[in-house]
Amino acid sequence: MSIAAGIPDALSIVWAFGAICFAGAVFGGIFTLIESALVLSFRGETANGGRGAEPPVTILKPLNGAEPSLETRLAAFCQQDYAAPVQVLCGAQDQAAAAAVRAVERQAPHAPIELAVGQRQHGVNRKVSNLINMLPQARYDTLVLSDSDIAVGPDYLRGVVALLAAPGVGAVTCLYHGVAGKGLWARLSALAINTQFLPQAIAAIGLKLAKPCCGSTIALRRSMLDRIGGFAAFADVLADDYAIGAAVRSTGAQVVATPFLVGHCCFEASLRQLLLHQIRVARTIRSIDPIGHAGSILTHSWPLALLAALSGTPVAAVLAIAVLAARVALCRCVEWRFGLPRQDYWLIPVHDVLAFAAYLASFSRTTVHWQGFDYRVAADGTLIKDNT
């Protein structure tokens, strides 16, 4: 067959590809509008009645290195508007993290903060190993797990524990919004949370497609933790927060989300760090729900519309403008509903292209980069240390 004869076939493939992308962008744009409506109507769970009994609480904070403003975030956990005793127990596997705890102790000698230093590894997941090392020093039966990059207000603990007291509730979690650190890449990372993760999580709850359990907060009683096998049951799991939530639900108990958000501080200092983080998140979701992850291509409406326009699909350029406007409207809805500061709208198309690249990369390999180490993700979601 001559080259000239093959050109129509090649053009047909390009046009078919453009038509598929166009259709995907249309559905994606519609879903973006649905997300906007669900964000505006999000209420979460609320505790019935007034302020009830407040049991003593141990807050478990697994730390990882010297993160920016860590002392400020730890101090906020020590300054809760909460009537009962609170123990803020920080687990450190390195001196840099331990130094932040000691700085809080020096600034506020009476702060209820303690340090648990342990180097022992109980599995591949270093965060869970940290939690296992910390647990023997936890004094109270109500436990609240919270990642080191989470920022909270003074009413945080009271709101979380009130929900845990409700009948049938086995665990309480918090959705979160992004708080940008210094630099462009940190701003893009925060934007990814506020325009991608958060509205998708709210949509999953509203449409009953998923029941998230986030490492930002997991509150549960020690009896429930023992019932699901303790932290050791999750020592080799990548998505430990999701696995804990699934284990709690398997007992017949509920995992509920608070009506308020906590802050997730973003520190990415380079494009490489941003992409590695985005790819890890995408591959984590793929390990949890491969079919749903594949279907989530429809949430990438702007890159799909852009591909349709580049392939010469008629009116695709108009569609690209429309879906981008819908993405900006979604961001505005998130800002209004949760009282967030104005985002960098001009970064949304940049973020969406990077997020689409990370999404495509999530299908190419099974390795993730986390806390300075590389791992392979097995088919069952467990981690295997990558020594290559």
The answer to the question of residue 315 being in a domain is yes
Q: What is the pLDDT of residues 71-94, one digit of tens each?
A: 999 999 999 999 999 999 999 877
Cβ neighbours for 245, distance < 8 A, ≥ 6 positions apart: 171, 173, 211, 212, 213, 218, 255
Dihedral sign for Cα 146, 150, 155, 160, please: negative
pLDDT band of 193, cuts 50, 70, 90: very high
Confidence of residue 4 (pLDDT cuts 50, 70, 90): very low
pLDDT bin (cut points 50, 70, 90) of residue 265 is very high
In this structure, is residue 3 part of a structural domain? no
User: Is residue 172 within 8 Å of 217, Cβ to Cβ?
Assistant: yes
Query: Is 357 domain-assigned?
Result: yes
Strands 176-180 and 262-266: parallel
Looking at the DSSP bridge assignments, the partners of residue 86 are 57
Query: How confident is the model over 168-182, as pLDDT tens digits?
Result: 999 999 999 999 999
Q: Which residue has the higher pLDDT, 48 or 29?
A: 29
**Rounded Cα gap, residues 328 and 175, in angstroms:** 21
Return the bridge partners of 383, or none.
377
285 within some domain:
yes
End-to-end CA distance of the chain: 45
* Total number of domains constituting the chain: 2
- In-domain check, residue 52: no
**Res 314 pLDDT > 90:** no
Domain boundary among 218, 242, 271: 271
pTM of the model: 0.89
Domain containing 79: what range?
A: 57-271
Mean pLDDT, residues 192-213 taken together: 91
What stretch of H or E contains 306?
A: helix 301-310
Q: Please tell me the predicted confidence (pLDDT) of residue 174.
A: 96
pLDDT for res 14 = 75
Q: Do residue 24 and residue 77 come from a single domain?
A: no
Residues 100 and 75 in one domain: yes
212, 237 Cβ separation under 8 angstroms: no
Regarding whether 210 and 191 lie in a shared domain, the answer is yes
The per-residue b/e assignment along 22-49, b for 16 or more CB within 10 angstroms, e otherwise, is bebbbebbebbeebbebbeebebeebee
Confirm whether 302 is domain-assigned: yes
> What is the rounded (10 degree) CA torsion for 308, 310, 312, 314?
50
* The predicted structure's pLDDT at residue 141: 96
Question: Same structural domain for residues 258 and 322?
Answer: no
At 387 the pLDDT is 62
Asked if residue 231 and residue 244 are part of one domain, the reply reads: yes
Q: Given 236, 271, 306, which residue is the final one in a domain?
A: 271
Instruction: Give the count of beta carbons closer than 10 Å to the beta carbon of residue 118.
Output: 17
Burial class of residue 19 in the structure, from the number of CB atoms within 10 Å of its CB (0-12 exposed, 13-18 middle, 19+ buried) = middle
The CATH number for 131's domain is 3.90.550.10
- Report how far residue 209's alpha carbon sits from residue 78's, in angstroms, rounded to the nearest whole number: 36
Tell me, yes or no, whether 2 lies in a domain.
no
**Are 330 and 283 part of one and the same domain?**
yes
Share of the chain above pLDDT 90, in %: 63
Residue 222 has pLDDT above 70, yes or no: yes
Distance CA 342, CA 292 (A): 31
Rounded-to-integer distance, Cα 238 and Cα 288, Å: 9
Distance from C-alpha of 349 to C-alpha of 367, rounded to nearest angstrom = 27
**Same domain for 262 and 129:** yes
Q: Residues 107-116: pLDDT tens digits?
A: 888 889 999 8
For residue 241, give both structure tokens: 């927060």
Rounded CA separation 265/150 (Å): 6
> Which tokens go with 71?
């002392």
| Mean pLDDT across the chain | 89
- 357 and 319 in a single domain? The answer is yes
Shared domain for 37 and 74, answered yes or no, is no
Structure tokens at 312: 């010469």
User: Do the domain assignments include residue 173?
Assistant: yes
Tell me, yes or no, whether 179 and 323 share the same domain: no
201 and 316 co-located in one domain: no
Question: Which of 271, 304, 332 marks a domain boundary?
Answer: 271
- Do residues 264 and 323 both lie within one domain? no
Structure tokens at 11: 């053009």
